[in-house]
C-alpha cells in the first residue's frame, strides 16, 4: 500500500524529521510512505491566510502523488488546505488530519473540544469543525499560546489544564488536539493525566493517527471521494493557467 504524506508548508529539516517520525510510527506494517513539502507557501499554518497561500501547491502535490502511484494522500494540517479541490482533481482518497480527527471524536463522544496552539487560531479551528459538518457538536476551542514549531512536551501541563477546563466548564466529552505535530507519545500522556484529573475516561484524539488510519482503511476497502460531492472540474479552462504558471 502506497500513501503520500503531503506536508503543506515549506521544507525544514526539523519539521520533516518530526513528521516522518510520527507517521512512520503510526502507519501499519507494510505501508509505504512518501513525503513531500511545498515549494510555495509558509513555514507553518496558523491562520486562514496561511491556508490560502498553501492551497495551490498542496493541490499540485496531491495530483502528483496520484500520478506517481500513491493510493491515497494525507494532508498534514488540521485545516486541510486544498483538500476539497484535491478531491475534485484526483481519484484517490485525500484525508485531512483535522477532518479525520474530528470525525473520530464524533464517533467516541457526542460533544468535544479542541485544544490548539495560539489564540489567534481559535476562529480557524471553529471554521474547520463547521466545514466538516460538526460545528454543532464543538463545545469550545482552547489555546495554549505556543507556536506550531514550539509546541512540545514542555506544554503538556498547560494542555491538561485547558483540556480539563473544556471537560468541566464547557461540557466536552472528548478532546481533539488542534496541532497535528503532537509527537508519538504526547496524546497518551495527556489522556492519562486528564482522566486522573476529571475522574473518568476522556479520549484525547491524535490527528496523525486518525488520518493515516482513515487513509489505510479507504485504500484497503477501495473507497474514494464521491464524484457527486466532488465533481471533476472542466478539463480545459484558460483561466486555470495562472496556477500552473505560479507553481512552475
pLDDT digits (tens, 9 = 90+) for 74-93: 999 988 999 999 999 999 99
- Distance between CA atoms of residues 62 and 169, nearest Å: 40
Q: Look at the chain and count its residues.
A: 248
pLDDT tens, position by position, 91-102: 999 999 999 999
At 17 the pLDDT is 83
- Of the ranges 44-48, 177-181, 198-202, 217-221, which one carries the lowest mean pLDDT score? 177-181
Q: Does the predicted model carry a pTM greater than 0.85?
A: yes
- What is each CA distance from 166 to 148, 174, 188, 202, in whole angstroms? 21, 9, 18, 11
pLDDT tens, position by position, 145-201: 665 555 665 678 888 999 999 999 999 999 999 876 555 578 889 999 999 999 999
At 210 the pLDDT is 95
Helix (H, G, I), strand (E, B) or coil at 98: helix
pLDDT tens, position by position, 147-157: 555 566 567 88
Residue 189, number of CB atoms within 10 A of its CB: 16
Domains of the chain: 2-96+208-247 (3.40.50.12500), 99-207 (3.40.50.12500)
For the chain, give the percent of residues with pLDDT over 90: 64
- Distance between CA atoms of residues 54 and 93, nearest Å: 19
Indicate if the alpha-carbon torsion angle 8, 13, 18, 20 is positive or negative. Answer: positive
At 248 the pLDDT is 45
DSSP annotation of 233 reads: P
Amino acid at each position: 500500500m502506497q500513501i503520500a504524506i503531503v506536508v503543506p508548508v515549506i521544507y525544514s529539516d526539523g519539521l520533516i524529521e518530526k513528521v516522518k517520525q510520527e507517521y512512520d510510527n503510526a502507519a501499519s506494517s507494510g505501508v509505504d510512505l512518501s513525503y513531500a513539502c511545498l515549494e510555495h507557501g509558509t513555514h507553518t499554518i496558523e491562520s486562514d491566510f496561511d491556508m490560502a497561500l498553501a492551497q495551490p501547491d498542496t493541490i499540485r502535490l496531491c495530483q502528483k502523488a496520484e500520478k506517481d502511484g500513491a493510493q491515497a494522500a494525507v494532508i498534514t494540517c488540521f485545516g486541510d488546505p486544498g483538500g476539497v479541490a484535491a478531491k475534485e482533481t484526483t481519484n484517490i482518497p485525500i484525508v485531512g488530519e483535522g477532518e479525520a480527527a474530528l470525525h473520530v471524536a464524533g464517533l467516541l463522544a457526542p460533544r468535544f473540544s479542541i485544544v490548539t496552539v495560539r489564540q489567534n487560531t481559535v476562529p480557524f479551528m471553529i471554521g474547520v469543525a463547521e466545514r466538516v459538518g460538526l460545528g454543532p457538536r464543538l463545545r469550545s476551542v482552547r489555546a495554549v499560546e505556543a507556536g506550531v514549531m514550539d509546541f512540545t512536551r514542555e506544554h503538556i501541563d498547560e494542555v491538561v489544564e485547558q483540556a480539563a477546563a473544556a471537560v468541566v466548564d464547557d461540557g466536552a466529552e472528548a478532546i481533539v488536539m488542534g496541532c497535528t505535530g503532537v509527537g508519538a507519545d504526547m496524546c497518551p500522556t495527556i489522556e492519562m493525566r486528564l482522566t486522573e484529573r476529571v475522574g473518568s475516561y476522556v479520549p484525547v484524539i491524535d490527528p496523525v493517527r486518525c488520518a493515516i488510519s482513515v487513509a489505510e482503511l479507504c485504500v484497503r476497502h477501495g473507497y474514494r471521494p464521491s464524484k457527486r460531492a466532488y465533481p471533476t472540474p472542466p478539463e480545459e479552462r484558460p483561466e486555470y493557467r495562472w496556477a500552473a504558471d505560479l507553481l512552475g
